Amino acid sequence: MAEPVLALRGLRKRFGGLAVTEDVSLDVAPGEIHAVIGPNGAGKTTLINQISGVLAPDAGRILFLGRDITRLKLHRRARLGLARSFQITSIIPDFTALENAALAAQAGEGTSFRFFRPAGKEAGLNRAAMVALEQVGLARRANTPAGAMSHGEKRQLELAIALATQPRLLLLDEPLAGAGPEETERLIGILSLLRRRYAILLVEHDMQAVFALADRISVLVYGRLIATGTPAVIRQNAEVRAAYLGEDDIPLAAAPC
Ligand SMILES: Nc1ncnc2c1ncn2[C@@H]1O[C@H](COP(=O)(O)OP(=O)(O)OP(=O)(O)O)[C@@H](O)[C@H]1O
């Protein structure tokens, strides 16, 4: 198997007496969508926070492209190509979609924001921004102020902002949250087009989407991984079924074709 883009090894985090991440090891392979699911409070956000650098683990290692980044600061991880898509909070409403994405492209280059840039450089950033907008189906809305966009379009723009930084790994924290049925379908289509081009770690509550998109799924319960496998394997796992007992959102039967 190719070297994983991301490898977690024996990660542990406690809040007081509460073990929120307990001996978690998992890999995200190049081009793979690896979903982490688990009941409310299982520790998914805490895990993502450790990977992106918001929280420091108590023990264990985080390897990114073979490099130990466990103690690296958040912005240095971002510069290495670890992009976390935040829920709309990183969008500047008065900027157009293109300007938002160009700003992210500039940040991805490691230079700080400047109002006045050499024209040639600006053209390069705008090109990178446009490619990112095309990847999420927003090219036609490039000159629309972000604040005037629908909720679903803002979610698409969030993805474009992450893509414009030229990431090697996308950390997607509930990319479908708050989206209606049509928007959800559109976002699932966009995410499936990103598969193979990017390594993606996906945390998402919409189980239909997770089972449709993920190459592999890891199941977190009380901070521990109880299973990792393909959707078909996870669907059959007795421990997973027990963990989700009483919740009717996990598609335990395969979706009809
Ligand atoms: N800063 C903190 N201090 C103390 N406890 C915390 C802190 N952050 C999270 N927790 C606790 O850790 C546990 C895991 O929380 P976390 O938000 O990571 O779970 P989650 O799987 O993302 O949940 P959800 O699906 O509801 O978003 C919960 O019991 C939560 O109350």
Cα–Cα distance, 25 to 220 (Å, whole number): 11
Give me the phi and psi of 26, to 5 degrees please: -160, 160
Residue 109 has a pLDDT of 72
Cα–Cα distance, 21 to 33 (Å, whole number): 21
pLDDT at 255 over 60: no
Residue 118: pLDDT band by 50, 70, 90 thresholds?
low
Query: Could you tell me the residue ranges of all domains in the chain?
Result: 1-81+168-257, 90-166
Nearest-CA neighbor of 15 among 52, 46, 53?
Answer: 46
What is the distance in A from the centroid of ligand 1 to the CA of 99?
Answer: 34
CA dist list (Å): 133 to 58, 77, 153, 180, 225: 38, 23, 11, 21, 35
What is the distance in A from the centroid of ligand 1 to the CA of 137?
Answer: 34
CATH no. of 1-81+168-257: 3.40.50.300
Strand partners, 12: 59
**Is residue 122 within 8 Å of residue 99, measured between CB atoms?**
no
Cα–Cα distance, 33 to 41 (Å, whole number): 22
pLDDT at 158 over 70: yes
Nearest-CA neighbor of 42 among 203, 178, 212?
Answer: 203
Beta pairing class for 18-28 and 6-15: antiparallel
Q: Which pLDDT tens digit goes with each residue over 227-249? A: 999 999 999 888 888 887 555 55
Give the three-class secondary structure for 234. helix
Mean pLDDT, to the nearest integer, of 202-231? 94
Which atom, in ligand 1's list, is nearest to the CA of 174? Answer: 27
CA dist list (Å): 124 to 91, 127, 164: 21, 5, 12
Residue 250 has a pLDDT of 56
Predicted complex ipTM: 0.96
pLDDT at 121 over 70: no
Mean pLDDT of the chain: 89
Nearest CA to ligand 1 atom 24: 40
